[in-house]
Amino acid sequence: MIEDNSIQKDLVKAELRARELGFEDAEAFLRYLISANASLESHGEQGSDGVREYYRSKSGIMYWGDSRAYMASKMKDESVDLVMTSPPFGLVRKKKYGNEEADRYLHWFRGFASQFHRILKPTGSLVIDIGGAWNPGVPTRSLYHFELLSMMCREYGFHLCQEFYWWNPSKLPSPVEWVNKRRIRVKDAVNSVYWLAKTPWPKANNRRVLAPYSGAQQKLMKNGYEAKLRPSGHDISDQFSKDNKGAIAPNLLAIDCPEEAPNLLAIPNTESSGHYQDYCRKNDLPIHPARFPDLLPEFFVRFLTDPGDVVFDPFAGSCVTGEVAGRLGRKWICCELDESYLKGAIGRFTKRGPKQRRKPTSYSIAPPCSVEGFDDAPLATGEKAVSRKTKK
């Protein structure tokens, strides 16, 4: 009986310690320790939390290990100005970078959520880029990312400052079954990006992220504008033609601005060459398959932080966030569980030529319903319905 009581006490302690470190339970913590220790034993010193420093630059540090354990054991309360990250999405199919399944995503994310709230400064922000998922076997969408947002606000006390939508013009039509084959859905071309904070009043200034004026707006400012009441009821004053040196960016992220939609923050994710990719190929290292383009973290780092502030990415991947934060004069911390991606990430901080300022890229937005000849394409009405061949 005494031995049983002792074991029970040890189990309770293990459970408490696991939750302190941000894991969902003792079993999850044990699985992590086994894999981490096996992977790290031949690579030098690591802390009791299984996390070790992997690379250090003048402005930041890259860590190898589980960011939940790192946050719980190493990061002080209210020490971070911006958490900027793109966690593994809750997809139906497993990817090489270790995504969680959509149906258990919230349970997995809780350990991160509690730590994010603790380490953020009162005026700091949390920005999460997260893609949607399709329910297995049916042409309907999972609600997991909406449920995640609700959980973060209702259970952990975050405020939703604004939701953004990253439009990626280069996304391929998918999912293939519903979009390309049966043609009963349109392609999924946006990610949700949630801007959260511990207070309704985090520091921010949209002048930091102004977009170029469209040709139409430039013409209006040059020729003048007659103040009048629009049919919509908006009273447009003569201040509408004032030159503020740029347009206020909207929450549709399309950073390379097409002429037809000057306020879109359109970020194509098509980069196949560059210093990081060249470094990985030269050293026979895997290129991270789910990188976000550097303009995405750049937008929020500029918008929400000052030089010298601390930016943290708990799902660093190839450390795009760290590279951008360092370039903009911020301090940065990145954590990544997969060492092979960290090896490649070091390439982002090796010597290179001066960074060239990116030239804006234009994208035309083709209106739907403008291709004739398909009015009689049959509508699918059931699970086994397959459309007939469309006309050429």
Residues taking part in catalysis: 86-87, 129
CB 320 within 8 A of CB 256: no
Output the six-digit token pair for 250. 């909207």
Interatomic CA distance for residues 35 and 65, integer angstroms = 10
Q: Is the dihedral of CA 294, 130, 277, 254 positive or negative?
A: negative
Q: Where are the alpha helices (DSSP H) in 185-313?
A: 215-223, 275-282, 295-304
- φ, ψ (nearest 5 deg) of residue 150: -65, -40
**CA angle, corner 246, sides to 130 and 160, nearest 5?**
30
Q: Is the dihedral of CA 69, 73, 74, 77 positive or negative?
A: positive
Interatomic CA distance for residues 348 and 343, integer angstroms = 10
Interatomic CA distance for residues 62 and 311, integer angstroms = 12
